[in-house]
Amino acid sequence: MGRTCLFLICLIFIPHLSVFSQEQNLAWMIAGQHRLAKENINNFSKMDYGAAAQNWGVCAGHDGMMYFANNNGLLEFDGTSWRLHRLPNETILRAVLAVNDSIIYTSGYREMGVWKRQPSGELIYHSLNSLAEQYFSKNEEFWNISSDNNRIYFHSFNRILLYQNDTVTSVSLPGFTNVMHKVRDQILLGVRDRGIYLLSGVKVTPLAIDPFFQGKIIRFILPYSKGQLLIGTASNGIVLWDGQKLTQWKPDWTPYFRENELNRAYFMPNGNLVIGTIIDGIVVFDRSENLIQKYNHANGLQNNTVLGIAGDQFNNIWLALDHGIDFIGNRHSNGVLIENIPNIGAVYSAAIFQNHIYLGTNQGLFSKDLSEPEASYVFVPNTQSQIWELRVINNQLVVGHNEGTIVVDNGKARFISRNSGGFAIREDIKRREHYIQSTYNNLISYREVDGHLQMDNIIQGFADLIRYIEIDHLGNIWASHMHRGIYKLRLNDKRDRVIDEKYFGESSVFGKEHSLNVFKVEDRIVFTTKEKLFTYDDLNDTIIPYTYLNEHLGDYRKAHKIVKAPDHHYWFISSQKIGLFYITMNQVHLIKSYPTSYFKQNPLFDDFENILPVTADKGILCLENGIAWLNASEDDTLQTISNFAPKLRELQLINRRNEAISKVPVAHALEMSYSHNSIEVRYSFPHYSAEPVFYQAFLRGIDQKWSEKSESSVFRFDRLPAGTYQLQVKATDLWNNDSRINSLTLKVQEPWYSNTLAKIGYFIILVVISILFQAWGVRRTRKKQRIHIEKRERELILLRNKNLRTEVEHKSKELANSTMSMIKKNEFLLDLKQLLTRQKEQLGTRYPDKYFNDIVKKIDKNISSHDDWQIFETNFEQAHEQFLRKIKDDFPDLTAKDLRMCAYLRMNLSSKEIAPLLGITVRGVENHRYRLRKKMGLNHDDNLIDLILKY
């Protein structure tokens, strides 16, 4: 029966491949299923979830959250991020049960408790040990938790504790109890050596007692059809209890179950039965008891020891393993089966020939028998180096090789051309059984002789590096250069020489030289530019935009490669996506689109992407180190994403110092103060699949468009202005399917300086400021007037002072002049007196005393003239205001002669200059200065001149 089902699936997958026998199709599908088993699994290691490697239990919450009992505590997964909740005593957890969205019970080593979700989304732990510790043995461990209405049962091997109405009651057991399960609203116990018991409240009664259970360890109890119980044992397989007797379930599987030791089992929502073992992972059976799949370490599991099994609302399988957590996606198919081929290199081309699949890579040609899906690809001898293209022509596989062109037949490879770089080869429509090939340097002509392809000649008159060629209905060869431009080549009648060449590049309708390729769509020449398509208008012999296709292809007008498939189907390849279209002269229909990001683990090789069309809607996509089997006829089951919306898991307010000040209750609306107008939100999307989900946000009122796709579900908005906004968040998958939108209304309050009271205060302040400004203006005007008056007065004073200084300078000059005159006059008179004295001494009595004395008296009188002093004193007082009065006031004992001495010293006259003025000798001046120092009370070190200059 299983073989028949697989065969029917095979017929659906490849209905048009007449070259394959039924057995080969079946082998291909088995190989496809082998690959699917691997790619449906997501492995989460301890590095991913941030806790211990060992996990003992798993439970799906009603809200889509997944919970795991881990050695380090309670693990929570929301579809996007993991969170570990440690217990206060950091003990190990053995079991977890989510009874609703906000109540989760856990248990472990000497620990019972409940986690309660707060409005902010946080889980807070409440230990029940204070109620239950009186019943704990020294090493009590609780391995299972079950609920029955408002009764919660915690199971250890020796006892069961019932938690109800904030009290804990111990339940006596009839023996060593291995397992406790809830089955059809009843709590059933598996007791070693005895059988199955029913637990109701604190009462335990027998339900299925049989000698079979003697020496047996019961691992699980599940409900089965027609009211039966499915009972798994550790070493004797699985039995059915119908209320009267036990029968073996799938006896042919009993040796397997015994050998690999059953441990857990779980019925999925879709009716599939998942059975976990200690040694060999899990096996999955459908409702009809047929094996669907086996998962173990060999085909994707991290570990073969299964300690817990659960299913979510999407029929995905979650496994708590002895080492890690595994997710098995319930994806029938999205039309993509990826076959990883390690160390094969970049695959440039593929072909199916003689019941083998051939892959041309940068390392050479590899092949595998399609009837042996488990076999490895083997290298075809003599094909090492770069392979560019594989093409089946009649009964030959033609290989475009770096060193020439190879033909493969029955696994043997031989060169038919040594012209380097065999690229595209196309049938020459002007000559039957002839082909033209582009290479690194030349165009090569081939012909078929007795069913075998042979090189005919090199086409003369043209040489260049040509990647793609197409031949139109007129026989023109359209050649696209490897790096730049398009050539139109016209051949002679013998088709062995180019007689006309035309180049289309930057100066042509394309407007550029790079990224230009040529292909055929419905027998029309089509040019790709990565921007839009062009076509050859043969009526006007010109190239024009291909408006019809550009309008109907959408973004695929930017494709850079087109691959023809049977029955008017065409694959379009762009940098962002791959699409299969059905195209006729009056219809363009997109059948299916594949995002290139889907293949990020085995990416496409940029600008050398390729697809082998197998049928109209199926093909093989070339990848790095692998291939992808594409089936565009299969519906995309992931579109169910559109039925769900992301959930707001956490919302934090952030202050101006970039500190998270508080977590607020998760709701649909939030009002925040202006001082806390930055927020950070975290979303979850528990729509589990084996493929990644991306998030986009749009803050209506701020943003102009949706944000870029991000794997992070955390969004932050800083310093929002006052106002009302709507935050919208959606999830999207690789196929660009969008989820529903989660909306959150945000209202940022006006800042305190913008409310009504503040505005009234601003008005009052404005009035006060106006009054103060007016008063300030008056004061300022007065001040200006005062400053102006003071300025005028200062100017007058400055002018007066200037005049005074001028006058003083003038008086000082007059004083100096008069003083010098007095000095000169007195010096003359003294000299004259000395002359007379010498003459008197010489003449004696001959010069009468009377005359001598008269003259001397006159001279002395003129030397000490009172009029000279009056003039000097007047000029001195004008030059040095009140000097004599001040010094007289300070030193009243000074005589008139002392004052004259001070005046002369004030003028900084030397002793020699002062002597004539006083009519004494220089020695007399020095003596006078000495007496003056004594009268002024100066010490020996004091300077007389410095003292006088201070006045």
CA atoms of 308 and 885, how far apart (whole Å):
120
- Please write the tens of the pLDDT for every residue from 174-225: 999 999 999 998 999 999 999 999 999 999 999 999 999 998 999 999 999 9
- Binning pLDDT at 50, 70 and 90, where does residue 635 land? low
pLDDT > 70? residue 2: no
Which residue in 89, 1, 10, 27 sits closest to 615, CA to CA? 10
Residue 889's Cβ-count burial label (10 Å; 0-12, 13-18, 19+) is exposed
CA atoms of 353 and 120, how far apart (whole Å):
62
- Binning pLDDT at 50, 70 and 90, where does residue 33 land? very low
- Please write the tens of the pLDDT for every residue from 462-479: 999 999 999 999 999 999
CA atoms of 209 and 112, how far apart (whole Å):
31
State the residue for tokens 């380097």.
420
What integer pLDDT is reported at residue 36 of this predicted model? 44
Other CB atoms within a 10 A radius of the CB of residue 469 amount to 20
What integer pLDDT is reported at residue 27 of this predicted model? 37
Cα-Cα-Cα-Cα torsion 891, 897, 902, 906, nearest 10 degrees, comes to 150
- Altogether, the residues listed in the chain come to a count of 951
CA atoms of 108 and 736, how far apart (whole Å):
43
Q: Which long-range contacts (CB under 8 A, 24 or more apart) does 910-915 make?
A: 913/823
- Binning pLDDT at 50, 70 and 90, where does residue 875 land? low
What integer pLDDT is reported at residue 901 of this predicted model? 83
Which residue in 584, 587, 579, 573 sits closest to 617, CA to CA? 579
pLDDT > 90? residue 490: yes
Question: For the residues of 847-893, what is the DSSP string, one character each?
Answer: S-HHHHHHHHHHHHHHHT-HHHHHHHHHHHHHHSTTHHHHHHHH-TT
Q: Are 697 and 728 in contact (CB under 8 A)?
A: yes
- Please write the tens of the pLDDT for every residue from 69-83: 999 999 999 988 899
- Binning pLDDT at 50, 70 and 90, where does residue 391 land? very high
CA atoms of 406 and 145, how far apart (whole Å):
68
Stretch 729-752: mean pLDDT: 89
Q: Which residues pair with 163 in a beta bridge?
A: 152, 168
- Binning pLDDT at 50, 70 and 90, where does residue 598 land? confident
pLDDT > 80? residue 113: yes
The CA-based angle 168-173-175, given to 5 degrees, is: 150
What integer pLDDT is reported at residue 693 of this predicted model? 87
Q: Which residues contact 872 (CB under 8 A, 6 or more apart)?
A: 815, 818, 819, 822, 903
- Please write the tens of the pLDDT for every residue from 312-347: 888 899 999 999 999 998 755 577 888 888 889 999
- Please write the tens of the pLDDT for every residue from 934-951: 888 888 888 888 888 777
Q: Which residues pair with 368 in a beta bridge?
A: 357
| pTM over cut 0.75 | no
Output 338 or 44, whichever has higher pLDDT: 44
pLDDT > 80? residue 35: no
Distances in Å between the Cα of 266 and the Cα atoms of 104, 304, 472, 796 are 20, 17, 63, 112
- Please write the tens of the pLDDT for every residue from 796-826: 888 877 776 666 656 655 665 666 666 667 7
State the residue for tokens 């997958």.
13
Q: Are 261 and 235 in contact (CB under 8 A)?
A: yes
What integer pLDDT is reported at residue 818 of this predicted model? 64
What integer pLDDT is reported at residue 823 of this predicted model? 64
What integer pLDDT is reported at residue 333 of this predicted model? 57
Q: What is the 3-state secondary structure (H, E, C) of 416-435?
A: EECCCCCCCEEECCCCCCEE
pLDDT > 80? residue 273: yes
What integer pLDDT is reported at residue 331 of this predicted model? 59
In this structure, which amino acid lies at residue 227? Answer: G
In this structure, which amino acid lies at residue 234? Answer: A
Stretch 598-603: mean pLDDT: 84
- Please write the tens of the pLDDT for every residue from 169-188: 999 999 999 999 999 989 99
Q: What is the 3-state secondary structure (H, E, C) of 889-926?
A: HHCCCCCHHHHHHHHHHHCCCCHHHHHHHHCCCHHHHH
Cβ burial 271-300 (10 Å sphere, 16+ → b, else e): ebbbbbbbebbbbbbeeeeeeebebbeebb
Output 485 or 101, whichever has higher pLDDT: 485
Stretch 866-895: mean pLDDT: 72
Lowest mean per-residue pLDDT among 150-164, 561-575, 668-682, 859-873: 859-873
What integer pLDDT is reported at residue 695 of this predicted model? 94
Q: Are 339 and 627 in contact (CB under 8 A)?
A: yes
- Binning pLDDT at 50, 70 and 90, where does residue 443 land? very high
CA atoms of 535 and 322, how far apart (whole Å):
62
CA atoms of 723 and 374, how far apart (whole Å):
63
- Please write the tens of the pLDDT for every residue from 496-555: 999 999 999 999 999 999 999 999 999 999 999 999 999 999 999 999 999 999 999 999
Which residue in 235, 388, 310, 234 sits closest to 59, CA to CA? 310
Q: What are 736's two structure tokens?
A: 């660009």
pLDDT > 90? residue 919: no
Percent of the chain with pLDDT over 90: 57
Question: For the residues of 239-293, what is the DSSP string, one character each?
Answer: EEE-SS-EEEESGGGHHHHHHHTEEEEEE-TTS-EEEEESSS-EEEE-TTS-EEE
Pairing of strands 195-200, 203-209: antiparallel
The widest CA-to-CA distance across the chain, in whole angstroms, is 191
Q: Are 316 and 77 in contact (CB under 8 A)?
A: no
Which residue in 402, 283, 270, 282 sits closest to 349, CA to CA? 402
- Please write the tens of the pLDDT for every residue from 286-318: 999 999 889 999 888 999 999 999 998 888 999
Q: Which residues pair with 241 in a beta bridge?
A: 229, 246
